A and B are shown apart, each in its own frame.
Chain A
Amino acid sequence: MQVKVEPRSETSRAVVYATPVLAVLLTVISGYFLFLFLGLAPAKTLYHFLISPTLTFYGWSELCVKAGPLVLIATGLAVGFRANVWNIGAEGQLTLGAIGAGGVALAFWDQSGVWILPLMCFAGVLGGMIYGAIPAYLKTRFEVSEILTSLMLTYVATLGLGILVYGPWRDPQGFNFPQTRMFTDSALLPLVLDGTRMHVGILVTLAAAVAAWVLMTRAVIGFQVKVVGQAPAAARFAGFSRNRTIWLSFMISGGTAGLAGTFEAAGPVGQLVPHLTPGYGFTAIIVAFLGRLHPLGIIAAGFLMAISYNGGEIAQVEDRLPQAATGVFQGMLLFYLLACDFLSRYRIRLASSRREVGPS
């Protein structure tokens, strides 16, 4: 017997949008058995994991705080993914964005003014773009796989941030903790609602999602990105440069990741610390695909992932669920999504092992 993979003749649009839902269902079912295996009460744990974060207004505001950076990064990544440009290093670009913004905040620590925040945003976006420029240059100049370079540069960025907060940027009054000074009010994002941690960065994120939607559906640049991704030869024929599209993708995704890093540092965290985020840059990849690379889908997927973060924390407290469970959940979700996508385009058939195709 032999396992064969055959393409299906057609995949309906409905199936394309049904696969994320199916993937979520399969993840929940698997989670049930995972919790059972861990000796927990599965129904109760799942309730804490998936439902509890959504029960209060404050819960929702916290979901917005978590979903914000995920959606912002995923929106930028989705542009590149449409062009088959695989930026896996948003976490590194986020870190460089935070370093840029944090550098501005610390440099002007003894000053105040409304110009400080915009300057921080500018430095953050620039930091993300510069860090995205490295894999873009290596790809367009030497054909180096951007998947490897962007991923590996993430670890360099994290170590770089570590050097700064353990060394020159460490808070002199911080009892040797590896962290910078707390930013002054001029360097912190204003809150949208008092009593919550929702900051104006969330509004910027919404605007970015709308802008991305307009870019991808109405602008020639969005069309260019899609053509380069779907049919590289047709792109050349149309006069769209592949290299410029790669650069554009890295500038957009690096810039949004850098801005997300700025918002984290100037928002909920309020300073620079060695590990600024729980891996938003990586989770955003799942968010982008779960949301079908579509801005609206990305917003929905961002909230789902936010639930997995916050629910994971609740379940850690209530059910003593291991911290790794959140990562396992997110990993399962991506796994099931990729599997469902694959099976919606191909079918697997068991066939006897006789030779079917000659030297043709």
Chain B
Amino acid sequence: MHDERQTPRLVLRNISKRFQSVIANDQIGFSVGPGQVHALLGENGAGKSTLVKIIYGVLQADEGKIQWNGRDEVITSPHRARELGIGMVFQHFSLFEAMTVLENIALGIDNAPDLKELADRIVSVSRKYGLPLDPSREIHTLSVGERQRVEIVRCLLQNPKLLIMDEPTSVLTPQEVGRLFVTLRQLSDEGCSILYISHKLQEIKELCHHATVLRGGRVVGQCDPAVETARSMAQLMIGAELKQLVRRAGTITQEPRLIVSNLTLPTDHPFGVNLKGISFEVGAGEIFGIAGVAGNGQNELTEALAGEVVLRSPSTIRLDGKPIAQMNAEKRRMNGLCSVPEERAGHASVPEMTLAENTLLTARNRMGLAHQGFIQLREARSFAERIIEEFSVKASGPTATAATLSGGNLQKFIVGREVLQSPEVLIISQPTWGVDAAAAAAIHQALFKLAQSGTAIVVVSQDLDELLVVSDRLAVINRGTLSPALSTAEASIDQIGMLMGGVHGLEGDAGSSHNAG
């Protein structure tokens, strides 16, 4: 454990940062001791990312001071941050898919030694910290967990005194999370401070010595996660009492509404995932979860289910017995299958268009917003108004462009657009990704209500906690194949975690999965 009386490694005083009219950071101050694992806790938009970008020199603060090992420092660039001994693992990796681990690391570090020496150092560092890596592997053959190791090893090669980790577990299986924590604790014992950004409270309780809670760009609390409950930290983070979700009574019929049988689809992207023999059934009123680590075929599967990719054999997907796999997205919608893609802006909506126009994307035929090839503007506008009202979307009105809405509000609008069409089947991908807690609760509640009315719902999510809350049964997708379905009530986290890892990524040594791809 760290010692409070030592000179703090990092001290922030009154850090403020404005973007036009938005104050992203407002007089933020806290300190991180040597070897301390310090959690930075907050919802999306609380200012966490801006703050760590300032510490890592990507952004400059408008006001305030940064002290490093007791001395005032101006961190002008990431280069300077690395010189001081600050390393950062970003949430989104910056690796070249077609290059090897060694080449990627050589590109990403300052004053790289010659490749042979670097390869030796990679192997020794990765051994020391239990992060097995083969320097000669190409990135596209690695799992997401292994890619993260590349980023971590790249930081560790520079002997950091402070390691910043931005939402590191959002892409990992539970087993991988456990292994990451072992590494982080080892680093902490060696005196390396860790600034750990997350909104997952259980992890913070498990790992961190201290937590700083941000809300709306300000520090709203400091606490010791070990003594707080997850619920009390959540309320600090959200600033309101958490509403308990109302779970519906089980009214699932035996007759399946959606039947997917042996869906096989080779990808046409160089780094895409081939879908192999996917089969499942969803009954009326049932919420079926599909879990999995990102990049295991979720996008390919949701596009095939929604009809963005059309399949050859019509009976691969059947809705109430009717083969629909040969139909495009709109034809499937006309037959009762609606969908919500993962990406809000540019996929589920057109950012430059108004909300009224955005209703036309999916509701023009189902809701009579177009008649004989002509747009019924008044109907479109009133449908947009209905969504805004029933889903409490914060927007200036149906003529506001989608781009002016915050992520959570746009997501509520998009989910509302599909839910109000009362489809027979709803495919929804990452329903609450990057959405604040209140909006997430509203979306979950809407899904429950829809299921209660007899809709078969498929939820594809990387957030296992979310799936455990919403779904009746769930299956895990790994490298394009889907596991048998488990009843959520009976499934154990361990069991799901094993499935998420598949065979791949579970073994300790990196050389075990050369048959990848």
Which one, A27-35, A56-64, A184-192, A220-228, is touching chain B? A220-228
Residues of the B chain whose Cβ atoms lie less than 8 Å from the Cβ of A234: 346-350, 361
B338-366 interface bits toward A, Cβ cutoff 8 Å, 1 = contact, 0 = none: 01010100111111110001001110100
Chain A CB within 8 A of B108 CB: yes
Nearest CB of chain B from residue A144's CB, rounded to whole Å = 18
Interface string of B400-440 (1 = CB under 8 A from A): 00000000000000000000000000000000000000000
User: Are A219 and B350 closer than 8 Å at their CB atoms?
Assistant: no
Alpha-carbon distance A59/B20, docked complex (angstroms): 52
Q: Which residues of A contact B367 (CB under 8 A)?
A: none
Does any Cβ of A come within 8 Å of B278's Cβ?
no
Instruction: Judge whether A354 is part of the interface by a CB distance below 8 angstroms.
Output: yes
**At the interface, yes or no: B286 with Cβ under 8 Å from chain A?**
no
Closest Cβ of chain A to B330, distance in Å, is: 3
Cβ of B94 within 8 Å of any chain A Cβ, yes or no, is: yes
Known: A220-B364, A220-B370, A239-B333. A231 touches B346 (CB 8 A): yes
**Contact partners of A240 in chain B: CB under 8 A:** 330
Q: Is the Cβ of A358 less than 8 Å from the Cβ of B350?
A: no
Q: Decide if B328 is an interface residue (CB 8 Å cutoff).
A: yes
Using Cβ atoms and an 8 Å threshold, which residues of chain B touch A358?
56-58, 77-79, 81-82
State whether the Cβ of A194 lies closer than 8 Å to any Cβ in chain B.
Answer: no
A355: interface (CB < 8 Å): yes
Q: Are A237 and B348 in contact (CB-based, < 8 A)? A: yes
Other-chain residue from A221, A238, A355 in contact with B373 (beta carbon distance below 8 A) = A221
Residues B331 and A239 in contact, CB atoms below 8 Å apart: yes
Query: Do residues A359 and B94 form an inter-chain contact, with CB atoms below 8 A?
Result: yes
Could you tell me which residues of chain A, from 203 to 235, have a CB within 8 Å of some CB in chain B? 218-221, 223, 226-227, 230-231, 233-234
* A351 interface contact, C-beta 8 A: no
Partner of B20, one of A9, A237, A356: A9
Bound-state CA distance A244–B77 (Å) is 48
CA distance in complex: A223, B357 (Å): 8
Counting CB contacts under 8 A, is B308 at the interface?
yes
Contact present for B107 and A230 (CB under 8 Å): no
- Residues of chain A within 8 A (CB-CB) of B154 are 359
With A236-B329, A237-B306, A241-B328 given, is the CB distance from A360 to B78 under 8 Å? yes
B307 within 8 A of A: yes
B15 to chain A, nearest CB (A): 19
CA distance A357 to B370 in the complex (A): 48
Among A221, A233, A240, residue most surrounded by chain B Cβ atoms (within 10 Å): A233
Residue of A nearest to B372 (CB): A220
B350 contact from A9, A218, A231, A354, Cβ within 8 A: A231
CA distance A239 to B330 in the complex (A): 5
Closest Cβ neighbor of B370 among chain A residues = A220
If the complex has contacts A227-B361, A233-B347, A238-B362, are A354 and B77 also in contact, measured as CB distance less than 8 A?
yes
Interface bin, chain A: 20 to 34
Residues of A within 8 A of B362 (CB): 237-238
A332 CB to nearest chain B CB (Å):
30
Instruction: Judge whether A356 and B329 touch: CB under 8 Å.
Output: no
B360 to chain A: which residues have CB within 8 Å? Answer: 220, 223, 238
With A358-B77, A360-B78 as given contacts, are A218 and B90 in contact (CB-CB < 8 Å)?
A: no
Shortest beta-carbon distance, A230 to chain B, in Å?
A: 5
Complex interface: chain B residues within 8 A of A231 (CB): 346-347, 349-351
> Do B77 and A220 have beta carbons less than 8 Å apart?
no
Known contacts A238-B329, A358-B56, A227 near B350 by CB under 8 Å: yes
CB contacts (< 8 Å) of A357 on chain B: these are 58, 77-78
B373 touches A220 (CB 8 A): yes
Chain B residues in 8 Å Cβ range of A230: 350-353
Task: For residue B16, give the distance in angstroms from its CB to the closest CB of chain A.
Answer: 19
CB nearest to A227 among chain B residues? B350
Tell me the A6-47 residues at the B interface (CB within 8 Å).
9
A318-360 with Cβ < 8 A to chain B? 354-360
Please give the distance in Å from B391's CB to the nearest CB on chain A: 20
For residue A354, which residues in chain B have a CB less than 8 angstroms away from its CB? 76-77
Q: In this assembly, does B375 line the interface, its C-beta being within 8 Å of a C-beta of chain A?
A: yes
* Most B-side CB within 10 Å, residue of A236, A359, A360: A359
A359 to B57, CA, bound (A): 12
Q: Is the CB of A236 within 8 A of B77?
A: no
Task: Contacts A358-B58, A360-B94 given; indicate if A236 touches B308 (C-beta within 8 A).
Answer: yes
Q: How far is the CA of A227 from the CA of B333 in the complex (A)?
A: 18
Q: Which residues of B contact A219 (CB under 8 A)?
A: 373-375
From A220, A226, A359, contact of B107 by CB (8 A): A359
Q: Known contacts A220-B373, A237-B329, A359-B108; can you find 10 more A-B pairs with CB under 8 A? A: A226-B350, A227-B350, A230-B351, A231-B351, A238-B361, A239-B329, A356-B58, A357-B78, A358-B82, A359-B94
Closest CB pairs A-B (n = 5): A239-B330, A358-B78, A359-B108, A238-B361, A239-B329
B residues bordering A, Cβ < 8 Å? 20, 56-58, 76-79, 81-82, 88, 90, 94, 107-108, 154, 306-308, 328-331, 333, 339, 341, 343, 346-353, 357, 360-362, 364, 370, 373-375, 377
What residues of chain A have their CB less than 8 Å away from a CB belonging to chain B? 9, 218-221, 223, 226-227, 230-231, 233-234, 236-241, 354-360
Question: What would 30 A/B residue contacts be, using CB atoms closer than 8 Å?
Answer: A218-B375, A219-B375, A220-B375, A223-B357, A223-B360, A227-B353, A233-B341, A233-B343, A234-B346, A234-B347, A234-B348, A234-B350, A236-B329, A237-B308, A237-B329, A237-B339, A237-B341, A237-B347, A237-B362, A239-B307, A239-B328, A239-B333, A241-B328, A355-B78, A358-B58, A358-B78, A359-B78, A359-B94, A360-B78, A360-B88
